[in-house]
Amino acid sequence: MPTLCERDLSIIVPVYNLEAYIGPLLRSLKEQETDYTVEIIFVLNNCTDRSEDVIRDSGLECQILNCDIQGCGPARNTALDVARGKYIWFMDGDDWLLTDTAIQEALDAAQGEDIVRIPFDSDCYQYGYFSMVWQYIIRREFIGDIRFPHIQPAEDDAFMDWVLAKAGYGRASYMRLPCVGRPLYYYNFGRPGSNMDRVNKGEKI
């Protein structure tokens, strides 16, 4: 793992067949206005569609990695192992940022903190849950050698249990974390074919 922080923030996005859904995230990232240095890492996870072409055609400055082990956990770990940011923000490829100052506001709030919570809006999901990893910015050195397990679903449950415990919080107390003052992230909960959609239908993922 790199020892020098060469960026203020690393954004990590696993990608599995998101050709039709990743556009809003790409646009919201391109529109960001920030004084911070940011690297964006997409991890292609056995895609069989044109996700990579859509990312490259967007013109967004980013890295594109590959992970052959299926699942969000291994894909995120692949990027986390090479990330250079002082802070990490995990995002889902079918979600997006709500404002062109989202990164600036999130990092302003994160200064001096190990972990900061990011409020969100959603199409139909109105309840917070401790393990939604995109609702946190976490200092990379604080994460240390914590990694996502190679399971799916619930790989984020284990990861956030470990991270929150290290910070002195838990599932019942994570809402007391330092928090940004307004929603910055949009959770596209109802997207057909998403992991949550498949879980709710009782499908194996």
pLDDT at 194: 54
- Do the beta carbons of residue 22 and residue 28 sit within 8 Å? no
Q: Which CATH superfamily is domain 7-200 in?
A: Spore Coat Polysaccharide Biosynthesis Protein SpsA; Chain A (3.90.550.10)
Domain ranges of the chain: 7-200
Q: Cα–Cα–Cα angle for 7, 80, 126, nearest 5°? A: 95
Q: If the chain, 205 residues long, is cut into consecutive pieces of 10 residues, what is the mean pLDDT of each piece?
A: 75 97 98 98 98 98 97 97 98 98 98 97 87 97 97 92 98 97 94 51 39
- How many CA atoms lie less than 13 Å away from 180 in the CB half-sphere? 24
| Rounded Cα–Cα distance for residues 179 and 165 (Å) | 17
Measure the CA–CA gap between 44 and 106, rounded to whole angstroms: 26
Phi, psi of 154 (to 5 degrees): 80, 15
Asked whether 116 and 74 are in contact (CB, 8 A), the reply is no
* Predicted pLDDT of residue 128: 83
Q: List the structure tokens of 190.
A: 């109802």
Instruction: Give start and end residues of each alpha helix (H) in 81-148.
Output: 102-110, 140-143
